[in-house]
Chain A
């Protein structure tokens, strides 16, 4: 990672990524937030014990995603005929011809991307929280986790479920499987975990060993 004639980073400054406003860096205390004066983007928002909370949430999310993907999610019954599906079945519904691509994309957006993001953030955060040097390639891992952020669509899938249920309700009786409730909890956890994370603090922790 060492470039020839390594340039010296300006650690006394912070620049807003959205509007390029430059400020001298003044670290906010726990529970406080540093906000861009010009465009109001939140730049830093450290939280006490945020690391541990995020790790706990992440572990819960991994377990829930795995379980929610396998267990029956919804089942339907009309005049004796019935059918029950898991989330994975739903994702793989686009099975004919060119729609297979869509199946893979859907499975990725609702299961694999959220899962990958959580695993990556665990990989990055666990050493930091334990005061160990960052894991190898931690910067790349965190970078990937951040790049995947807009493509994690579990919460959108949840709203999609609600809409689908209304559409089906006059056609047949629908009942919820265990995975439905797991998924509902999962969505809340994913959103909370995302909002707990102070990205600046993580990057700052990751850059420490470069100096010593």
Chain B
């Protein structure tokens, strides 16, 4: 079932003098610029990737702040207008007894985004200096971040459904607030930030520690 690995010590493609296409997995000799199979640019290690990660991270974080300040939903009933921020809306739900749904909203809109900011920052810092966290754990963290980041869009979709569905003329109407735009931007930029990270760098640090390589 498992691949028969030839040695206990895993050899990286860089040490073998080959470079692999990260998109289609085709292996090429070192020095080839673009993958002839899929057209993807071949890079041994994306050294500029950390700059991109941080730039996108910062934009994502800057969008996350107004996303929590402005209202996410504006509910207009016969007599009054209520504006809810992300956290305010979740607290409101909790008062109504829907603790499960409030938890989903809080996890998707607060816990996941914040955890994701921290995780990406941690990964980006960890590849530049010796880390006490094992490679396997960091790889796992990276995969979790990549997988789970998309789920933050739940709140945007909830707002979309609510504000199209609840449009009952004078009785009650729900409209999206400005926070929805910032929140969506924040999710998109953190997803891009995570994608920009070259996870192969996690595994390089180990070898650097051992063999003290250049670059």
Give me the interface of A with B, judged by CB distance under 8 Å. 1-3, 6-11, 13-15, 17-24, 26, 28, 32-40, 43, 74-76, 78-79, 81-83, 85, 89-94, 96, 98-99, 101-102, 105-106, 109-110, 139-140, 142-143, 146, 150, 153, 156-157, 159-161, 163-164, 166-168, 170-172, 174, 199-200, 203, 206-207, 210
Contacts of B133 in A (CB 8 A): none
Nearest opposing residue in chain A for B11, CB measure: A22
Whether B176 contacts A99 by the Cβ 8 Å rule is yes
15 A-B Cβ contacts within 8 A? Answer: A9-B26, A19-B200, A20-B12, A36-B3, A37-B10, A43-B3, A74-B161, A81-B171, A94-B176, A102-B181, A140-B38, A143-B38, A160-B153, A172-B172, A203-B37
In the bound assembly, the distance between CA atoms of A76 and B168 in angstroms comes to 9
In the bound assembly, the distance between CA atoms of A190 and B32 in angstroms comes to 36
Whether A93 contacts B176 by the Cβ 8 Å rule is yes
Whether A102 contacts B12 by the Cβ 8 Å rule is no
Whether A32 contacts B25 by the Cβ 8 Å rule is no
With A15-B27, A161-B161, A203-B24 given, is the CB distance from A9 to B105 under 8 Å?
Answer: no
Whether A106 contacts B10 by the Cβ 8 Å rule is no
Nearest opposing residue in chain A for B105, CB measure: A163
With A98-B181, A156-B154 given, is the CB distance from A19 to B139 under 8 Å?
Answer: yes
> Which one, B53-61, B96-104, B118-126, is touching chain A?
B96-104
Nearest opposing residue in chain A for B204, CB measure: A20
Chain B: minimal CB distance from A194 (Å): 12
Whether B37 contacts A9 by the Cβ 8 Å rule is yes
Whether A156 contacts B184 by the Cβ 8 Å rule is no
Whether B29 contacts A20 by the Cβ 8 Å rule is no
Contacts of B202 in A (CB 8 A): 19
Whether A83 contacts B184 by the Cβ 8 Å rule is no
Chain A: minimal CB distance from B210 (Å): 15
CB of B203 within 8 Å of the partner chain: yes
Contacts of B1 in A (CB 8 A): 32-33, 35
Whether A85 contacts B165 by the Cβ 8 Å rule is yes
Whether B166 contacts A172 by the Cβ 8 Å rule is yes
Counting chain B residues whose Cβ lies within 8 A of the other chain, the interface size class is 35 or more
In the complex, per-residue mask of B151-172: 1 if CB is within 8 Å of any chain A CB, else 0:
1011111111111111111011
With A99-B180, A102-B181, A160-B154 given, is the CB distance from A17 to B22 under 8 Å?
Answer: yes
Give me the interface of B with A, judged by CB distance under 8 Å. 1-6, 10-16, 18, 20, 22-29, 32, 34, 36-40, 93, 96, 98, 100-101, 104-105, 135-136, 139, 142-143, 146, 150-151, 153-169, 171-172, 175-176, 178, 180-181, 184, 188, 191, 195, 199-200, 202-204
Nearest opposing residue in chain B for A158, CB measure: B157
Nearest opposing residue in chain A for B15, CB measure: A22
Chain B: minimal CB distance from A17 (Å): 5
Whether A19 contacts B203 by the Cβ 8 Å rule is yes
User: Contacting A21 at CB < 8 Å: which of B10, B164, B195?
Assistant: B10
User: Contacting B27 at CB < 8 Å: which of A13, A89, A94?
Assistant: A13
With A90-B161, A93-B176, A163-B104 given, is the CB distance from A26 to B153 under 8 Å?
Answer: no
Whether A22 contacts B13 by the Cβ 8 Å rule is yes
The 5 closest A-B pairs by CB, nearest first: A160-B157, A15-B20, A93-B164, A164-B161, A10-B27
Contacts of A170 in B (CB 8 A): 96
Chain A: minimal CB distance from B18 (Å): 6
